[in-house]
Chains A and B, each alone.
Chain A
Amino acid sequence: MMNNAITYDLIAALPEIFVLCMAMVVLLVSLFLSARTLYVSYILTQVTLLGAAFITVSTHIPAVGYAFNGMFVDDPLSDILKLMIYLGTSMVLVYSRSYIALRGMYRGEFFALVLFAMLGMMIMVSGQHFLTLYMGLELLSLCLYSLVALDRDNPRSTEAAMKYFVLGALASGMLLYGMSMIYGATGALELSQINAALFNGMADRSVLILGLVFVVAGVAFKLGAVPFQMWLPDVYHGAPTAVTLLVGSVPKFAAFAFVIRLLIQGLQVLTVDWQGMLIVMAVLSISIGNITAIAQTNLKRMLAYSTISHIGFLLFGFLSGSMNGYISSMFYISAYVLMTLGGFGMILLLSRKGFEAENLDDFKGLNQRSPWYAFLMLLLMFSMAGVPPTLGFYAKFTVLQAALQAGFVSLVIFAVLMAAVGAFYYLRIVKLMYFDEPQDHAPITPSPDMALVLGINGMAILILGLMPQRLMELCAYAIAHSLQ
């Protein structure tokens, strides 16, 4: 009996254990590699992602299983999010390989830290207990702080890392304080026990609400929702673009799972209370994100503000408080990560040794330099703006539809207006690419793997926009089999 439980624990957490072991293998193997043979670490990292995906798929069952005394959950939601995280991380590595090689960051620690960060995301996605959720978040954050600072001779990166670290520590403190309040009120740390205690109505309300405020503030900081968005533009701008690509994309899956676990699985009884907070944050995020993005001349900063507005839309799915809303939120976050990967991938594509293609002017006349990449960027920008028939349109549509069904008519109208404002700065890039003369005439010569993956990434946005059913079914399957 005892042995069976331990065996089940180990099987349920097998992807995590595998990734942990491989991260240490990558770290050790890199010590014995010279600069010329360091591609071995890169290949090992990609093999790790493939192996983890294989393990996750082969141990998948459409049921909810708990391991480690209810601290770890293995449900379809966690499995599918983990698969998306592997895919996203793999794309991040493909895009950033030549960039980090040219900037002296192509070291074994880079790959090990990326794998450890991914391990943190996996732990968050499978967390069923305040402690595991928090530990996963800290593991992820610690890796991201150090990755941002990895280009250590660049003062801008160091400043960004410092800001990220200090504000991140503050947010972790708030989150922990809120968790301790909820623990004090319910006497439980495990999410299902908290839910049960709240359902019985034994907990003291005022303590709960105080705890909830701090928890929501902590989560909002990690998501980057207004008014906790101050770190986002500086970190996106200051970090090396390869790291910005990582910070801005895959961890959002983990943050999504974090919200689902904490607010919906743990604190569902308090829906009315957190709904109000999310409404305020969603409205502020959409308006401030979109309006501030107009004034940016740096593409990385612009994409940071665009992220803030996307997070606002994501919150719309949550605040509708229905199964439909959660499914649309998951769809939105998948679409967002795909678009962000493509967007920063284009910046990495145009950058070369000693030159960062991060200003809007660097995209001028891209159509004359390479019609194919200009077309991919066009698709990405249309998708971010929400122009049909791209993926971004469908994502915005489902989220707003869910909010409309929940009865938030005026909020939806406001969001649509703000999306129209946002379309301005996305379409400005399209105008620069197609109607302006190029300032930069360097040839664009990506490695074949990057060209292939970036092409697939761009076309996926069009194809998934035309045929969103499969992705939608996947999200519906994950949510419906995991939340009871």
Chain B
Amino acid sequence: MIFQDYVFYALAAILLFAGLRVITTRNPVQAALFLVLAFFTAAGIWLLLEAEFLAIVLVLVYVGAVMVLFLFVVMMLDINLDKLREGFWDYAPLAGFVGVLMALEMVMVLGSKHFGYSAPEKHGADYSNTAELGRLLYTDYVYPFEIASVVLLVAIIAAIALTLRRRAGTKHNDPAKQVRVKRADRIRMVSMPAEKDEPAEGEQK
């Protein structure tokens, strides 16, 4: 039990440090990598909470897919950092004040004495977190689950509608046309009578 506490505090400390570095580091690639670290430690904390499936999904989806995409974008775009940081110190005092105020409020309200829950009971080794999540998702929560799929569909439609352009003059091929093409479209067979005798070299001049 005491060992788990140590693990939790170590992971929490790394998570806080990584989160802080994400917003303070000057290099966007480093910021993205710190975010990866934050995701990993968060997954570790979820493992301690017996949410194994969610922890693995967090690593697979966020680290494996989202962050890789993110790094690609960061590396491909030429981001001017000085322009992004313009006005940072102008807003810093006000933002800091509001931030500290909100943090204090949360500390006051979110202590354990306000939440009257005892620790949940431990499950045995044969308990399947994944099966339980799946059962809930496809029975009790099937309605929001379906709505989530519609939201994803709308995201696809919107992304395509906003970015797909047909510019005049681009040299792209239409695969359907390419497949349907026949020999007759490309080659014109012309029957010509063969020349009887070839003129000699010097005669034309």
Contact = CB atoms under 8 A, between A and B. Distances in A.
B158 A146 contact: yes
Interface string A102-145: 00000101001100100100010000010110011011001101
Nearest to A126: B143
B161 A113 contact: yes
B161 A109 contact: yes
A131 B154 contact: no
A428 interface: no
A135 B148 contact: yes
Contact of A139 (B109, B142, B151, B161): B151
Given A132-B147, A142-B154, A207 B115 contact: yes
A204 interface: yes
Interface string B127-147: 000000000000011111001
Interface residues of A, number: 39
Given A69-B140, A113-B154, A142-B155, A207 B161 contact: no
Nearest to B139: A69
Q: Does more than half of chain A's interface fall in helix, strand or loop, or is it mixed?
A: helix
Nearest to A149: B162
Given A132-B147, A135-B147, A145 B115 contact: no
Nearest to B110: A207
A152 interface: yes
Contacts of B161: 107, 109, 113, 146, 150
Interface centre among B105, B147, B153, B162 (most CB of A within 10 A): B147
A142 B114 CA distance: 36
Given A116-B150, A146-B162, A68 B116 contact: no
A71 B154 contact: no
Contacts of B114: 185, 204, 206-207
Contact of A68 (B108, B142, B154): B142
A257 to B, nearest CB: 16
B154 A116 contact: yes
A210 interface: yes
Contact of B144 (A132, A152, A185, A210): A132
A136 B115 contact: no
Given A142-B154, A207-B110, A135 B116 contact: no
A44 interface: no
B157 interface: yes
A204 B151 contact: no
Contacts of A210: 105-106, 109
B144 A71 contact: yes
Closest A-B pairs by Cβ, 3 of them: A146-B158, A68-B143, A109-B161
